[in-house]
Amino acid sequence: MAKARWIAETKTAANDCETNMPWARGLRRQAMIARRLETDTRQNKITLPPMPAFLSMDISA
């Protein structure tokens, strides 16, 4: 009984959490880095690898 209540309270707290997790901000961060690299005046251009599919999915509890 206590375990079920703990799990329910944990799920509620996780849904109320507004902290950006690394996987949630991945696309925004990659876009910022890409914009910065496009304006860079280096001789050797740096390219970013494609974003893995599991990081670009909307994850909800």
Average pLDDT of the residues of the chain: 76
- pTM of the predicted protein model: 0.33
10 Å CB burial of residue 55 (0-12, 13-18, 19+) is middle
DSSP, residue by residue, the chain: -HHHHHHHHHHHHHHH--PPPTTTSHHHHHHHHHHHHHT---SS---PPPPPHHHHS----
Is the pLDDT at 59 greater than 80? The verdict is no
Is the pLDDT at 27 greater than 60? The verdict is yes
Please report, for the chain, the start and end positions of each structural domain, with discontinuous segments joined by +. 1-38
* Residue 37 exposure: Cα atoms within 13 Å on the Cβ side: 11
Is pLDDT larger for residue 13 or for residue 33?
A: 13
